[in-house]
Copies of this chain bind each other. A is one copy, B any other.
Amino acid sequence: MNRVPYQFSQRATQLTSSAIREILKITERPDVTSFAGGLPSHLGFPAEQIRAAYNRVLADSPNVALQYGPTEGYRPLREWVVSDFQARGTHIDIDEVLIVSGSQQALDLIGKLLIDPGSKVLVESPSYLGALQSFSLFEPAYEPVATDDGGLVPEDISEEKADGARFIYCLPNFQNPTGRTMNLERRQALVERCARLNVPIVEDDPYGELRYVGEPLPGLLQLGREAGATVLRMGSFSKVLSPGMRLGYLVAPREIIAKLVQIKQATDLHTATVTQMAVYETIKDGFLKTHLPKVRELYRHQCQFMLDAMDEHFPKSAKWTRPTGGMFIWVRVDEKFDTTQALAQAVEQYKVAYVPGEPFYPGANAPKNTLRLSFVTVTEEKIRAGIADLGKLFTP
């Protein structure tokens, strides 16, 4: 009898190959203009400062930097997070801060903490694909929550929808994939509703510092504390320093952090000490204050350039978001188009790539005619040509 040599778990069996992964492979072809990527611009990486920081850390404190460290994270970096919140008017305690290996890891830890097979999880529709994939390993039942140009629609969280929900996951600032921002009224309504209905809020804010138009809005953690809601807030150094260092943090009530520390210990012991120290060394003296305006100006310029090209080349039947920050523009083309099917033609005929919108929808009945564009890493010339091509492709 020939038995199989190994058996995958239920969760692994239901994993399918990631659409984003397959698309990222396309973007590696040098002849393709890719608006599909989610990569920050390397022009925003403060390479020299980071190099100098590693240099100092490894010259001054190698025995700490290269040794095992506490699961909670490097204490001065956690203190920096506390002071960063304080500067925005929110007092948090160091016991409410956990350092993670990029905010994608925070999703994994939260999934482990809060999701049982079949657990209801509320997610914006559409939402960040990487979060849907991460939570999916713990086999939740997704319940989509409506969104519009004002962001998530709190009224869509009915008592029935909220009943038994383990949490709601949302990206209030320059959401991935839509680039939309939840307005203040909605934020207030969301935290009040979640406080009343006992739904914890997972606030993912990787792009918050990339606002290039208008003033920052208060975050859900801040508003949630005033309203009595439970909020787990994820932050990241990926978009303000470097994604390749894989560093982020999670702020949550201390009894949640305490449990997450146990889970993280079992997951990877702790995030690399040397990386945490190098990031702390880079930012400790206020470096981000001078660095971020340059990154914002870069992203603002790229965004505006793409919006201008879209105004010029896209047909009237297409509608798109006009982000005030972040990395993405979301497009709804004429209903006759299926953007998933059209991708092959875009790449083959026009050598242009985008991300079809369908996989970002957690539920059934996803519209077929949406797509995500990133304007961050493409030159002006290629933006102009690529947008003109997409305009042709999606003209009914």
Query: Which of A's residues lie within 8 Å of B, judged by CB?
Result: 3-12, 15, 17-18, 21, 38-40, 42, 45, 47, 50-51, 54-55, 58-59, 62-69, 71, 101-102, 104-105, 108, 112-116, 119, 130, 133-134, 136-138, 166-167, 198, 200, 230, 241-247, 256, 259, 262-263, 265-275
Contacts and interface: CB of A to CB of B under 8 A. Distances in A.
Contact of A268 (B65, B102, B200): B102
B21 A45 contact: no
In this complex, the member of A10, A59, A115, A246 whose beta carbon has the largest number of chain B beta carbons within 10 angstroms is A246
Contact of A45 (B8, B45, B47, B62): B62
Count of this chain's copies in the oligomeric assembly: 2
Most buried by B among A21, A38, A69, A244: A244
A263 B267 CA distance: 13
B58 A268 contact: no
Nearest to A3: B198
B102 A259 contact: no
Nearest to A70: B24
8 contacts: A9-B115, A15-B259, A38-B68, A105-B268, A134-B266, A137-B267, A246-B268, A246-B271
Nearest to A13: B259
Contacts of A133: 265-266
Nearest to A242: B66
Contacts of A245: 66, 272-274
Contacts of A69: 244
Closest A-B pairs by Cβ, 9 of them: A47-B62, A51-B58, A66-B242, A244-B273, A42-B63, A54-B54, A246-B272, A66-B244, A45-B66
